Amino acid sequence: MKTQSKLEKVLASGALAVTSEVGPPRGAIPEKVKEKAGLIKDHVDAINVTDNQTAMVRMSSWAAGVIIKQMGLDPILQMVTRDRNRLAMQSDIIGAYSMGINTMMCLSGDHVKFGDHPMANGVFDLDSIQLVQTVKKMRKEGKFQGGADIKSPPKMFIGAAANPFADPFELRVMRLAKKVKAGADFIQTQCIFNLDKFEKYMEMVCDRGLDQQVHLLAGITPMKSAGMARYMKNKVPGMDVPDEVIKRMEAVPKEEQPEEGIKIAIESIERLKQVKGVHGFHIMAIEWEEKVPQIVEKAGLFPRPVL
C-alpha cells in the first residue's frame, strides 16, 4: 500500500469501488455538508468534495473534507489549478493531509467564465498533469515542486479526471497515459452516456496496458428529465449524450422520467461492469444525492466491502 487511503484498499482488493460526490455549500453551513454526506455514507467507499465547482465560490473543499472525515467517512479532496498557485496548493495539501485526508483528485477546473466571478484571473500556474506530478513528487520523493525537502511528506492517493468524449478522441487515451505517467493512481471519468464510444475508449486503454497501471472509475450520472439530457448534450462542453438516450427519456411521461434516468444509470453500470479496465464507479448525482443508495443497491454494488 502506498497510502492509508480506503479507496486504495478497496481497489487493491479487486472489488469494484464506488465513489460519489458532495458539493460544499455556498455559505458557512457545516450542517449541509453533513446532511449530504449522510445520505450516501453507507453506499460509497469515498466521497469527492468538489473545489469551487463550476467556478462558483463555495466552502473550501479541504474544510468540507475535514467535516466529512470527522463523520468517520472518507473524503476525496478535489483540487483545481484554476484558483491557486503552486504554493497555495501544496500548503493546502499538507494541511488537508494533516487533518486526515489521504485521497485527492487533481483537476484543472472549469474556466472562470462560467462561474460567478468571470472577472477573476484564472491562475493556472500548473495544469492538472503537473499537479499530479507535484503530489506524486511530494509523496514519493518527499520534495516540494520547487525541490525543497518536506518534513514528513503527505502520502496522498492520487486521482485525476479523464473525459473520453472530448475532442480530439484519438488524444484521449494518450492524455490518460500522460496522467498515469505523471503519477495518477486512479481516474474518475466524465459522465458516460455513449457506452459504445466508451467501450472503444477502454479497448484502446487496455491496448496500451493502462488498465494494469491505473484504476479507472466510470462516471455515472442519473438524469432527472429529458430536458436535462438535452441540456447536457447541447450546453455542457465535452459531453456526449447520444440521441437514443434523449429519445428514450422523451418517450416516457414527464413524471416517470426520473425513474427512467435511474434505470439508464443502473443499466449502464451493469454493462460497464463487464468492461475490461473498469475498476469501479463514480456516481455524480448532481443535487440528487438521495438517489445514490438506490442506484448502488439496484446495480448490485451493495453492500460495500468492509476492510
Is 178 near another protein (CB under 8 A)? yes
Taking CB under 8 A as the binding criterion, the range among 14-22, 173-181, 224-232, 285-293 that sits at the site for another protein is 173-181
Is 168 near another protein (CB under 8 A)? yes
Q: How far is the CB of 304 from another protein (least distance, A)?
A: 28
Q: How far is the CB of 237 from another protein (least distance, A)?
A: 4
Is 203 near another protein (CB under 8 A)? no
Is 174 near another protein (CB under 8 A)? yes
Is 127 near another protein (CB under 8 A)? yes
Pick the binder of another protein from 167, 256, 290, 297 (CB under 8 A). 167
Is 187 near another protein (CB under 8 A)? no
Pick the binder of another protein from 2, 58, 143, 181 (CB under 8 A). 181
Is 250 near another protein (CB under 8 A)? no
Taking CB under 8 A as the binding criterion, the range among 90-98, 155-163, 257-265, 269-277 that sits at the site for another protein is 155-163
Taking CB under 8 A as the binding criterion, the range among 22-30, 167-175, 193-201, 295-303 that sits at the site for another protein is 167-175
Pick the binder of another protein from 70, 71, 95, 125 (CB under 8 A). 125
**258 backbone φψ class: left, alpha, beta (φ>0; ψ -120 to 50):** alpha
